[in-house]
Chains A and B, each alone.
Chain A
Amino acid sequence: MTETYKVQRWTSRSIVSTALIAALQFALLAAPFVFSANVVDHLTTLFVYVVLAITWNALAGYGGLVSVGQQLFFGFGAYGAIRLSQAGVPVYAALALGGVGSAVLALIVSSFMLKLRAGEFAIGMWVLAALVQLLVSLDPIIQGATGTSLLALNSFAPAARRADTYWFGLVAMAGVALLLFLLLRSRLGAAMQAIRDNEEAARSVGVRVQLAKRIMFVLAALGAGMAGAVWLATSISFQPNTYFGVQWTAYMIFMTLVGGIGTFEGPILGAVLFFAVEAAFGAEGVWYLIGIGAAAVGFALLLPQGIWGWMERRYALRLLPVGYVLKLQGVDAGRQHGFARRSVPPPPAAMRISEQS
């Protein structure tokens, strides 16, 4: 090595911002003691949106797996919680396990869905979601389109239920976000981005494409399932048409596109914006939906990198960095304009054919 270098993954600014975000999460634990019931309910809704946005972004923005069927896992998380609760599992454990159930379902369906490419995968996921919705509707407990309720939650006093559901949502959001952040900063995260950019080239540099896709797919399903379980805990009632509705994925796409696809911070910003827009204009009915759709189209055409993506490029903002920056000292600039004449180390002996399976 003729140059000294260091690899920077954190800056002082990103350390401070990450610490502040972590501190905010801890501070939010106190919200049920401080804020009104209405605010606590709204914050719980926001947590659901954040989880949906960051997991869809991880799947599509980092993994290149554009799905319009993530409502499958949202609905299945809620359905699983109802089933487990009726089987006698304590209700909040049932809710958490419902989310895990979506991850298990994703692991199973990944064996055939991940063989599909691009548009086939996107539409195939939607079809699969509709199929599972029909199967869930056939469950006698669900009573078709009528649905059912998570009756076990009625044994809690309203204030206690609200606070417990809030904390469940907060922990689910923080847990999923932390898991994704660590994953995206890992070697696997970089491999996923390589697959997104060029699957053939990723394979040619040794990336286990199917394994990497499967991990991201399962993790995204875990997030959507947890979000569905939290939503069930807030509303108590479950109707297949609502929980398996494609509007959930439409929300995920909107939040990710507006915030900034392929950035870690963007979808969080997108979720906050969506939450604010819904609070301000949600009562407008169909015009609200038209406005949301028009905004999504506008961002896709005019600001495809989203608000955070634009800010990141304009101001080099990285509050939660997942990439690598090479800092060099003593670079011989004259050698930067051609192939330099020097040696690289020999190939390592440890990885050779003896590993063959």
Chain B
Amino acid sequence: MSANARKLVEPINESTATEYATQGAKVRKLSRPDLKLVSQLRPEKASRGVFALLVGGLLGAGLVVMLLINTSLASGAFVVSELQTQKSALTVEAQALSKEVDAMSSPANLEAKARALGMKPSKNPVFLNLGDGSILGKPNGANVSPNAPLPRLATPADLTAVEAVDNSAVTSDFPTTVGPNYDPAAADAAAAGAATAEDSAWGEIVDVTDTPKAARAGKSGKASQPGKKAKIAKSDSGLTATPIG
């Protein structure tokens, strides 16, 4: 409050009254404003209740929200933990499956399977020119002796049978593979045994040596197909089907 304003509400004593009187109309203007008694300010009971309710409500709501957030976080932690367990289980499963694939597709296993089916590694690389049907390279025979058990063309059922046999062999801890010490003679003997056993179960035998029997089988159409295919070198195993020759 400025000094000037305080002056305006100063009580008027006589000397000043005279002074003011001389000033005429100005005095009337500066007379102090009307004062009145103000009733004591009492807080209203109703508004206090509302306020308390508001604060209480906010607190309560805050607590509830906190609780909800905590609960959802906690349940999230459970979900995370569960999913992690699931993930590691799936990883383990994926690894087990790819291990199986690796073991099956390993060159050693493919060679053993091919031999079990009566296949032999082709000797000279031979190519069939698909453009003009000419043969590049010198085809050579499989050198199957006439007295040896005759290999038979594979059917899808054979492949299943071979897989079933081989799966039972792959039970050791980490992939057991046929190393360089692998004995082809033993595998041949096993293959011959398998072929004989299968022959009795499967009546039809297709001869791949150059005998009239082979010619007959060739007429069925079944034998001629793989015979032609055999002349195209297969890349995967370095093995090809035994060519007729």
A binds B: no
